[in-house]
Amino acid sequence: MRPVYPVTNEKPDPLATRLCTALHDVPTTRRAACCSHSPGLSLASECARTLSAALHDNAVTMDAAAVDACVSAMEKNHEGCDWVGPTGAPLPAVCDGLIKGTIVEGKRCRSSLECQNSFRCVGVGPTDAGVCRKPLPNNYPCAVAVDTLAALTRQDSFEKEHPECNGYCAQRRCRDFAPLGGECKTAIECGAGKICAHKKCEEGALPGLGKPCLDSACAAGLRCEKGICAGPKEEGAACKNDIECKGGCVRGDGGKEGSCGMKCRML
């Protein structure tokens, strides 16, 4: 079997190399410096190779200024060491959605990022090409393969920008969105611009920083603490779990409480 983006001896695209170095090498090398160990494995070269192939074939485009903004944001997000923890620093918003597809509906693709508009690369996998199609209808199989290019370039929003289903994917099957006022367990069942409030789909958005939680839920990047939506705690703040902190929750041997700070151990 061969990867969907074949290995060649072509020199990587400079713009692809610049982006992938920021996405992968910046976190690994700066974490290594903070924790005084070797950088270890980085996916930067594989990211650059794959992205370069898509750029070379004119399947995707990238704006150089957008890449520069991502590089700057990655460097800023990884300044100091207080971000070092089990999950690392979050991907800056400017790094997500900067790869634009050029392939039209019905044509061969190797990633959903290669498809124009909201089309999805149906049938794609690590070793198989697909075809740019409209989102799938109810009861079709979904979430059965990995999109190599999207994963390597850390394009977290590609599921939103190139939805696999007309509705949402649950237990590997496409499901229709619940109607307004319909029963729900999570917001994903309700669709864009809606929330699941008190087990019913309603129009609106999850509460932001400092607002009362809604059924213990908050906007992305926030958590519910004592009924209020809170962001990650800074270094030195009291904590019980890693999820509370910008980095990790550092506890003494057998301690139930600790303080937020640099945490090199992943557990």
- Quote the Cα angle for 175-179-183, to 5°: 80
- From first to last of its 267 residues, the chain has per-residue pLDDT tens of 789 999 988 899 999 999 999 999 999 999 999 999 998 889 999 999 999 999 999 999 999 999 999 999 999 999 999 999 998 999 999 999 999 999 999 999 999 999 999 999 999 999 999 999 999 999 999 999 899 999 999 998 999 999 999 999 999 999 999 999 999 998 899 998 999 999 999 999 999 999 999 888 899 889 999 999 999 999 999 999 999 999 999 987 767 889 999 999 877
> Around Cβ 137, how many Cβ atoms within 10 Å?
11
How much is the pTM? 0.90
Are the C-beta atoms of residues 113 and 60 closer than 8 Å to each other? yes
State both tokens at 206. 């999850």
What is the distance between the alpha carbons of residues 172 and 95, in angstroms, rounded to a whole number?
Answer: 28
Are the C-beta atoms of residues 162 and 97 closer than 8 Å to each other? no
* pLDDT given for residue 254 in this prediction: 67
Nearest Cα neighbor of 56 from 9, 97, 96 is 9
* pLDDT given for residue 220 in this prediction: 87
What is the distance between the alpha carbons of residues 150 and 54, in angstroms, rounded to a whole number?
Answer: 11
